[in-house]
Structures are given as structure tokens and as C-alpha cells.
Amino acid sequence: MFTQKDINQIEERGTTVREVSRQIDCFRSGFPWMKIVGPATPERGIRVLAPEAVKTAIDYYKGASVHGKCKFVPASGAASRMFKDMFSGLSAMEEGKDLPADAPGARLAARIKDFAFYTPELFGEPADTPEYRLKALRLLLKEEGLAYGSKPKGVLKFHRYPTEVRTAIAEHLVEAQQYMRNADGTCNLTVTISPEHTELFNAAVAEVLPEYEKRYGVKYNITFTYQDKATDTIAVTEDNKPFRKDDGSLLFRPAGHGALIHNLDKVKEELVSIKNIDNVSHEKFLPVTAEYKQVLMGVALQLRDKIFEYLRRLDEDPSVQLCNEIENFLDKHLCIQIPLAHSEKERVDMIRAKLNRPIRVCGMVRNEGEPGGGPYIIAGKDGCTSLQILESVQINQADKGAMEAMSHATHFNPVDLVCCLLDYKGNHFDLPKFVDPEAGFISSKSYEGRTLKALELPGLWNGAMSDWNTLFIEVPIETFNPVKVVLDLLRPAHQE
């Protein structure tokens, strides 16, 4: 299957022929469907906190001992999807066609002044003409203007204020100082970016860092990390043969957010907040965002301390009474039901294995039609149930039970997580050991007009965290303000 030239290419990327062959086998065999027990809902699986519980969680967060905090922001890739409709409009206009008034490109040109990236010096005075629409799209997307079509979301201007304009990464800095300060007044951020965007991110941060440190009385420690090329996966043709470029070389593609588990594994702080680069709002929404981030962290630390207490008690006296208590706790709070064991030792070992794992507490938003994966209760290969976040591609559309579970889902995943990464003895968990390798999925893509199949690794908040202790908390819709397309910046959450 592979020539010596292929083998050299594979090994130069830091991977092995065995691993690439395994990936090709995944294309041929596919991935097993998740066995869904039911959707996670407020009745079972999602906690809806009363006002007093919200206050208790925040107080717990403020008083708990933590070995460092870090904000983890996935920000890899260019913003090409964000401007897909704009490129289509530009292409049509360059062919001599005008855009209808309701077309995305026409809507952008009509409201150009409402975008934070607008300046009269660059875009001039808007006009309801084909010439202006063409000009606006060119200046937005091409090198003659802002070149936003080839830049990462993190460095794009999202929000306007009376005295400044903020990029997405700048808003993350403002957020971080509000709820992620360490005891020594520092804020740690780990931002995953593409190597080719390093200069752009460095410039965007340098532009605001001195002012923000002075304004907020904080010291930022910012680390930019790259998705390891060794985690890229091979692409295949529609008949599952290695996809080759015109020069005969193999094509490898970034394997999605799942590859970032290796970046997260390098974070040494105990408490980590995860939020996508485009999910930031105008500062007027920061109070509710910060409040519920503290709620998630407080709940995570409450869970951490309860689990640590149980593990220490198991070390001292693994009695039947204690095992019963722990199993009841796991079932009630984490939806983990453990099958009957053949012996007391097997029972204790299974309970210990379920307790001694990384922790994640995930905010869940009421489903109001926004895209996103959903929270479910599933049955695992070991016979235990657990809470998981599933994407629609991981659910068997031909399974009536699975489709019924989807139809009764009440919430979706906004990617708003808090994680605890140290065990009860103070050691850092080896995060790749808790990945479910069978939780990946296959997608259809293209390369230079040719169709291919791509392999996505188990997603960072899906299969990559499959074997974690998981808790779902309802959070307000106001905390979720993603910018998936550029017109999303016209929503109230992104306007002055």
C-alpha cells in the first residue's frame, strides 16, 4: 500500500505506518454507534440550579484551594467558514451579477457601519449600489483591504466601544481577568493556533496587553500552542484508498478538535476553563458570563472535593457500606450505574476507577435552535452508563430509539467547560489515557475540487473526554454568543 517515499513522509510527520494503516482500517470499518439510554434532561442528567445554589457554588469557588487556573481557548484555523457566503457573493458580483437585497453580501454592505471592522477611511460612505457592494466585499476579504478571508477569527475585530475596538482574543483577555485570576494576580491563557498565524496573534495581543494589564491590575501569561502535525490523519478516496495529491504524495488533514487533547494535557494548572475563540460577547454581557463561569468552577471544585474524600476513604476502609454510598452518589449525580461485580475486590476496583478520573463540568443551554452537539446518557462497553456530549453524526439515524432520544433532548452543548486535571494525590492525569478511540467519525471533504473522506479524531469535548467524570449544569442562553458567520456580529450580543 505504501511506497518507501510514503513511509518517509509518514515518519517525517512524527507518526508511524502502523498508525496510518489503523486509520485506513477505520475508514473501511467505520465507527460503532453510541448506545443511547436517553437524553440528559433536567429530570435526569442536567442540574438546574436554584438562586441559592448559584450563590453557594460561587462562594465555594472563591474559597476553594486550587493549584493554578488556566483559560484554554481553541483558536486554530482560518475564518474561511465565517466568510463562505461573502466569498460566494463576491464571486457572483465579479461575474457581473448583482446581489438580491436579502443576500448575505448585500446585507453586510447595507449595514457595514454596524461592524467593528468598519472605518470610513477604508470603506468610505455606504451606498445602495452594486459598485459599493462589490467594493465592500473586496475590502473585507481581499489583500487590498482587511484580508479577513484568510485570517483567523481570533484577530478579527468583533466589538466596538467608545474608546477602542476589540478583537476576539482581546475579549478573551478581558474575560479572563474577570473570573480566572490566580491568587498572585496573574491570568494564564493557553491558546491553540496554527503556526502560520503566530505573527498575527502576537501582534493582536501586543496591541492591547500593556493597556489591559494596567487597566485591570493583572499580569497575563499567554501561551500559544500548535496542533501537533503527528495528530493529523490521512485522507482517503471514496473507495478508501490513500488520497494522493497531484505530485503523488499522501494527503494528511488536521483531525479536528480531538487532537487538542494533547495540547490540554500540557497545561499544568489544576483548574481549566475551556471556551471557543468565537464565543465572546460585548462586555455588557460579561457579568452574566463571569457569574456562570464561577458557578461551573464552584460546582467542579465541589465535585472534586467529594470525589477526593471518597477515594481517601476507600484507601482506609473499602467497606460494603461505603461502596453502597459511593454507587448511590455516582448514580444520582453523574448518572453512572455500575453493573454487579463478581467479587468485592472487583467492585472496589471498578468504583475506584470511576472515581479517579479527570473531572469536567459542562454548561448546557436550553435548545432554541442553535447548532451544537447534545448531552446524552449512554451505555458504555464496560456496562456502565455515563453522561456524554454527542454530535449528530455520532447518532444512528436508522435507530428509532436513538432518534426518539434526540427528539426529546432539551439542551445543547455551547462548549463551555470547566475541568479539574489533578488526581487526589496531586498528580496530573495522563489525559490521552481517557480517550475513547472508537468515538471518532468520518466526514466528506474536498481537495482542489476532488472529493475525499476525512477522519476526525474523538472530539475534545466528545470522545476525547469520554472516560471523564462528567456533570451537566444549565447555563443562561446569554452566555452563548458564537460568531459562526460574519452576520452574527449584527446580533445584539455583539453590538454597542
- Please give the full DSSP string across 429-477, using - where no structure is assigned: P-GGGG--GGG-EEEEEEETTEEEEEEEPSPTTTGGGTTSEEEEEE--G
Decide if pLDDT at 452 tops 90: yes
- Residue 9, class by beta-carbon neighbours within 10 Å (0-12 exposed, 13-18 middle, 19+ buried)? middle
Phi, psi of 416 (to 5 degrees): -140, 85
CATH topology of domain 17-79+154-494: Spore Coat Polysaccharide Biosynthesis Protein SpsA; Chain A (3.90.550)
Query: What tens digit of pLDDT does each residue of 135-193 get?
Result: 999 999 999 999 999 999 999 999 999 999 999 999 999 999 999 999 999 999 999 99
Question: What's the mean per-residue pLDDT of the chain?
Answer: 94
How many Å apart are CA 398 and CA 35, to the nearest integer? 13
pLDDT at 370: 59
Maximal C-alpha separation, the chain: 79
How many Å apart are CA 395 and CA 392, to the nearest integer? 5
Decide if pLDDT at 371 tops 60: no
Q: What is the DSSP letter of 328?
A: H
Collapse the DSSP code of 252 into the 3-class scheme (helix H, G, I; strand E, B; otherwise coil) and give the result: strand
How many Å apart are CA 249 and CA 228, to the nearest integer? 20
- pTM for this entry: 0.93
Query: What tens digit of pLDDT does each residue of 200-228 get?
Result: 999 999 999 999 999 999 999 999 999 88
Confidence of residue 372 (pLDDT cuts 50, 70, 90): low
Decide if pLDDT at 352 tops 90: yes
How many Å apart are CA 416 and CA 72, to the nearest integer? 11
Confidence of residue 337 (pLDDT cuts 50, 70, 90): very high
Instruction: Tell me which residue has cell 432539551.
Output: 410
Pick from 18-22, 28-32, 298-302, 337-341 the range whose average pLDDT is largest. 298-302
Collapse the DSSP code of 187 into the 3-class scheme (helix H, G, I; strand E, B; otherwise coil) and give the result: strand
**Domain ranges across the chain:** 17-79+154-494, 81-150
pLDDT at 369: 66
pLDDT at 81: 83
Query: What tens digit of pLDDT does each residue of 419-440 get?
Result: 999 999 999 999 999 999 888 8
Mean pLDDT lowest among 73-87, 95-109, 321-335: 73-87
User: Identity (one letter) of the amino acid at 398?
Assistant: A
* Non-local CB neighbours of 299 within 8 Å, separated by 6+ positions: 47, 57, 60, 361, 418, 471, 473
pLDDT at 338: 95
How many Å apart are CA 349 and CA 326, to the nearest integer? 13
List the beta bridge partners of residue 361. 418, 471
pLDDT at 446: 83
How many Å apart are CA 35 and CA 383, to the nearest integer? 11
pLDDT at 168: 98
Q: What is the average per-residue pLDDT within 491-496?
A: 94
Instruction: Tell me which residue has cell 453524526.
Output: 393
pLDDT at 118: 98
Q: Are strands 233-234 and 219-226 parallel, antiparallel or unpaired?
A: unpaired
